[in-house]
């Protein structure tokens, strides 16, 4: 983990069933998840925002096999067991205020076959308690880590 409060690391382990091919994509979607009603979110805004990138740009480190002599440490992965390491950054541009955020990481091949999909609901607030006082209380008020 990086020393910055804004940076997080995601590790995903599993088996690649075969080559993913070129032009695979990676979508990250952020929204209010199961807390949309608690936030009284407008129905038109509940789908959130989606950002798309090239799979290999967002997942730059793929270890195969794990440990020992690794024959593949870059994208594109080969068939078999692997661990993907991706670094994320919670920019204030997207994370405006303390609340529970829902993030979905969805990777697909060029023809739409799913590589992996991970959804996480994350409670985020400022570490500086004084900053949190500027916002109303809600589910995020009791975030613990």
Write down how long the chain is.
145
Q: Is the pTM of this model over 0.75?
A: no
Looking at residue 111, its pLDDT comes to: 94
Six-digit token string for 36:
């949309």
Q: CATH classification of 7-142 is 2.70.220, yes or no?
A: yes
Q: Where are the domains of the chain?
A: 7-142
Q: pLDDT tens across 58-91, in order?
A: 776 788 876 655 555 567 788 888 888 877 766 6
Residues forming a β-bridge with 140: none
3-state secondary structure of 50: strand
Q: Residue 106 belongs to what H/E stretch?
A: strand 99-108
Q: pLDDT tens across 13-48, in order?
A: 888 888 888 899 989 888 888 888 887 888 888 888
Query: Do residues 50 and 29 make contact, with C-beta atoms less than 8 angstroms apart?
Result: yes
Query: Do residues 82 and 63 make contact, with C-beta atoms less than 8 angstroms apart?
Result: yes
């Amino acid at each position: 983990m990086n020393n910055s409060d804004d940076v997080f690391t995601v590790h995903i382990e599993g088996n690649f069933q075969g080559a993913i091919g070129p032009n695979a994509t990676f979508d990250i979607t952020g929204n209010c998840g199961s807390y949309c009603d608690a936030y009284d979110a407008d129905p038109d805004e509940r789908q959130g925002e989606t950002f798309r990138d090239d799979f290999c740009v967002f997942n730059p480190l793929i270890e195969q096999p794990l440990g020992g002599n690794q024959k593949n440490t870059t994208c594109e992965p080969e068939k078999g067991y692997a661990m993907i390491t991706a670094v994320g950054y919670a920019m204030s541009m997207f994370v405006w205020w303390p609340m529970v955020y829902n993030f979905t990481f969805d990777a697909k091949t060029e023809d739409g076959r799913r590589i992996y999909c991970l959804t996480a609901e994350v409670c985020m607030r400022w570490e500086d308690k004084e900053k949190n006082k500027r916002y109303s209380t809600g589910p995020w008020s009791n975030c613990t880590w």
